[in-house]
Amino acid sequence: MTHKIILDTDPGIDDAMAIFFAFQHPEIEVLGLTTVYGNVPVTMSAHNALVLCEMAGENVPVTKGVGMPWVGKESGYAHFVHGDNGFGNVPVNSPKGELDPRSSAQFIVDMARKYPGEVTLVAIGPLGNLALALRLEPELPKLVKQVVIMGGAAFVPGNVTPVAEANIWNDAYAAEIVFAADWKLTMFGLDVTLSTSFNQEFLDKLESLNPTLGGFVNQTSQFYIDFYSANREDRVCFFHDTMPLAYLVQPELFKIVSGNARVSTDPLNIGQTTVAPPGTTASPEWLNAKSIEVAVGVDEAKLKALYCETYAQ
């Protein structure tokens, strides 16, 4: 089965690994990369997406999307995680390609209308483009097949605050809109993405299997590993963004639970994703909230094997 997807992204080192996986996997058809601010400003996200397409030899539309949160001022960027250029300060050539003139939100709506019921939205950055697309086209939930996101932390602590994960924290009001929409949403949060770490041996293997794309992931991940290993005994990193894509092609690798989900927008807990599994609450606040699917476990060995065989294609 081929999955038609739009990848909404803020590249970003782990975004790059995910984008290459999507381009490489034979069962994934990438309709376009829609960029958003998050790890880096949106102009850099868009530039970096064009660079990644050219590095992979892919000629797909790339759009520039929202550069600000739904509410509030411009947030800080994660250059301390992804480097000044979003690629771990590894120099890259300026892209030759041009951006598609549409906004990311408009592109999402156009593709959903063109392929009704067929498109999976894979969001691996803050959710402002999806929220805006919902405002542009209120029927969007009926037009897309499903939404899978990297974001949130259901039953584990956050990575930006004790309760909030970066993609949700960066645009909590947009996330609230996206989580409440009437579409099938599957969340790959820190519950599952921090359960699987990647070391230098894995990176070297990826490079041996695909010197161009694996080599770039290896090079750029050195900065990323330094960040993650600062307070750890072992030198590892976490490829958060590839998990939603792995789920599309091998869902059996994941343990999924359902629950009614709320996104907090109060100042202290802004960006917290709270999920109430069935039978755990009588609170109308949660019982009336939308039910989503949440990944809470993965077969680590089979996941890594999938990544390697896909890069080796």
Residue 191 as a binder of ligand RIB (CB under 6 A): the answer is no
CA dist., res. 152 & res. 53, Å (int):
27
Supply the minimum distance, in Å, between the C-beta of residue 277 and Ca ion. 27
The binding track of 2-41 with respect to Ca ion, each residue x by CB under 5 A or -, is --------x-x--x--------------------------
CA dist., res. 308 & res. 313, Å (int):
9
Supply the minimum distance, in Å, between the C-beta of residue 158 and ligand RIB. 9
Q: Quick check: helix, strand or coil at residue 274? A: strand
What amino acid positions are annotated as catalytic residues? 10, 240
CA dist., res. 264 & res. 147, Å (int):
20
To the nearest 5 percent, what fractions of the chain are helix, strand and coil?
40, 20, 40
- At 75, list the tokens: 């947030």
The binding track of 232-251 with respect to Ca ion, each residue x by CB under 5 A or -, is ---------x----------
Residue 158 as a binder of ligand RIB (CB under 6 A): the answer is no
- At 64, list the tokens: 């520039």
166 binds, among Ca ion, ligand RIB, none (CB under 5 to 8 A by kind): ligand RIB
110 binds, among Ca ion, ligand RIB, none (CB under 5 to 8 A by kind): none
Among 12, 32, 83, 95, binds ligand RIB (CB under 6 A): 12
The binding track of 102-131 with respect to ligand RIB, each residue x by CB under 6 A or -, is ----------------------xx------
165 binds, among Ca ion, ligand RIB, none (CB under 5 to 8 A by kind): ligand RIB
Supply the minimum distance, in Å, between the C-beta of residue 82 and Ca ion. 9
Supply the minimum distance, in Å, between the C-beta of residue 19 and Ca ion. 10
Q: What values do phi and psi take at 310, rounded to 5?
A: -75, -40
> Following CA atoms 77, 78, 83, 84 in sequence, which dihedral angle do they give, to the nearest 10 degrees?
10
In the complex with ligand RIB, the residue whose CB is nearer, 55 or 166, is 166
Instruction: Kindly report the number of other CB atoms within 10 A of residue 271's CB atom.
Output: 27
In the complex with ligand RIB, the residue whose CB is nearer, 28 or 143, is 28
Cβ(86)–Cβ(36) below 8 Å: no
Contacting range for ligand RIB; rule: CB under 6 A; set: 43-51, 160-168, 208-216, 278-286: 160-168
Instruction: Kindly report the number of other CB atoms within 10 A of residue 58's CB atom.
Output: 17
Cβ(193)–Cβ(240) below 8 Å: yes
Residue 39 as a binder of ligand RIB (CB under 6 A): the answer is yes
Residue 15 as a binder of ligand RIB (CB under 6 A): the answer is yes
Helices (H), 37-193: 42-56, 79-82, 104-114, 128-136, 140-143, 166-170, 172-180, 190-193
Supply the minimum distance, in Å, between the C-beta of residue 101 and ligand RIB. 25
Instruction: Kindly report the number of other CB atoms within 10 A of residue 298's CB atom.
Output: 22
Radius of gyration for the chain, computed over Cα atoms and rounded to the nearest angstrom: 18
Residue 240 as a binder of ligand RIB (CB under 6 A): the answer is yes
Supply the minimum distance, in Å, between the C-beta of residue 126 and ligand RIB. 7
Among 6, 7, 10, 87, binds ligand RIB (CB under 6 A): 10
Residues in the site for ligand RIB, rule: CB under 6 A? 10, 12, 14-15, 38-39, 124-125, 150, 159, 165-167, 240-241
